[in-house]
Amino acid sequence: MIRIVTRPEGSAFRDTALRLAAAAAALLAAAVMMAALGYNPLEVFAKILQGSLASAYRFRETVNKAIPLTTLSLGIAVAFRMKFWNIGAEGQFYLGAFGASLAAFAFPGMPPFFLLPLMFLAGFLMGGLWALMPAFLRSRFEASETLVTLMLNYVAIKWISYLQYGPWKDPQANGFPKIANFSANAVIPKVFGIHAGWLVALAAAALLYVVLKKTKLGYEIDVLGESATTARYAGMSVTRVTLTAVLLSGGLCGIAGMMQASAIEHSLSDQLSGGLGFTAVITTWLARLSPPVIVAVSFLFSMLIQGGSFLQSAMKIPASVASILQGIIIFFVLGSEFFVRYRFVRVRPGEAKK
């Protein structure tokens, strides 16, 4: 008989080696799949690198995708560390963009050094408040935050669609369902040719690392993630820690929406995220909730997204193939977590009865 048992806690070197082996196996499996579909695997991988890094424009587009993905992943990581399964980053992203748009349209003549911070604040608050609803329901009624945050995604998107097709529809768009563009003072400026959101994302990763590793709040979040009973026994207010962490989680996702609306779209739209809120759940888990690793993993995934788009034009490969590549990598890397934590042991028939 074969039994699954918990693996004793091993060295960081062993765990890292297992994950690297999983990544190598993922690339090998992806190469086999490409060959089976009639494509040269080496050419496909080369085109992905070429499409994401080979020119200043392509690198800029890769970074533009990495900025919201990184910020969303940081927000999700805060909630995941205390076992609050926030699957609502997509909705918090849209509500953050909505809050920033409210500020932009309410104060079109305000100087940018006042308006942009106001938009960041509005995006943070709207995203955070949207996340607080499932947190309150869990604390008060023990409702599943996974289901509530997931359902609130669609409520948020439909709310933006209502604005786009209704009250906020631009009368100068000749009947096209579009919200008016922001004024120039509501657009995030560029630094080295890329909008300054990359500085915000890196600063958020650094600050979040300090908060989680060096502050009382970070310690409380980790203790609560291990056991609510232990947190209460230690004198912590579970409700206070939960609401604070969830506000921070949703607020970071809201900031991601603000930056996407301001710097990329210059407006609000129900197609703003392109599903990045759901992709961020994957990158957060792959990075094991570590802010520095989240930055690296989000950039690598952005390379896949941007490189996959290039594959369509360069090799006439359907966009779904790039999604398959992402899926293979996710399957192998997440699968490696099983072997990090567990192992198979052979049990003799006589021992199995004990």
Averaged over successive runs of 10 residues, the pLDDT of the chain (354 residues) comes to 75 76 88 88 89 93 97 97 95 98 95 97 98 93 93 97 96 90 96 96 98 95 92 91 96 98 96 92 89 95 87 77 79 80 74 54
Give me the pLDDT at residue 318, please: 77
Give me the pLDDT at residue 334, please: 77
DSSP string, 287-313: TTT-HHHHHHHHHHHHHHHHHHHHHHH
Number of H helices, E strands in the chain: 14, 4
For residue 95, which of 125, 73, 65, 64 has the smallest C-alpha distance?
A: 125
Give me the pLDDT at residue 274, please: 87
Q: Distance between CA atoms of 256 and 273, rounded to whole angstroms?
A: 9
Question: pTM for the whole thing?
Answer: 0.91
CB 247 within 8 A of CB 128: yes
Q: At 144, give phi and psi (nearest 5°).
A: -70, 115
CB 137 within 8 A of CB 143: yes
Give me the pLDDT at residue 10, please: 64
Give me the pLDDT at residue 79, please: 96
- DSSP structural state of residue 264: I
DSSP string, 163-221: HHHTTTB-TTSTT---BPPPPGGGSPPEETTEETHHHHHHHHHHHHHHHHHHSHHHHHH
SS3 272: coil
HEC profile of 27-92? HHHHHHHHHHCCCCHHHHHHHHHHHHHCCHHHHHHHHHHHHHHHHHHHHHHHHHHCCCCCCCHHHH
Give me the pLDDT at residue 5, please: 79
Give me the pLDDT at residue 164, please: 96
Beta carbons within 10 angstroms of residue 168's beta carbon: 18
- Contacts of residue 181, defined as CB under 8 A and 6 or more positions apart, other chains included, come to 266, 267
Beta carbons within 10 angstroms of residue 238's beta carbon: 16
Q: Measured at the alpha carbon of residue 95, what is the angle toward residues 115 and 130, in degrees to the nearest 5?
A: 120
How many CA atoms does the CB half-sphere of 11 hold within 13 Å? 3
Beta carbons within 10 angstroms of residue 224's beta carbon: 23
Give me the pLDDT at residue 67, please: 98
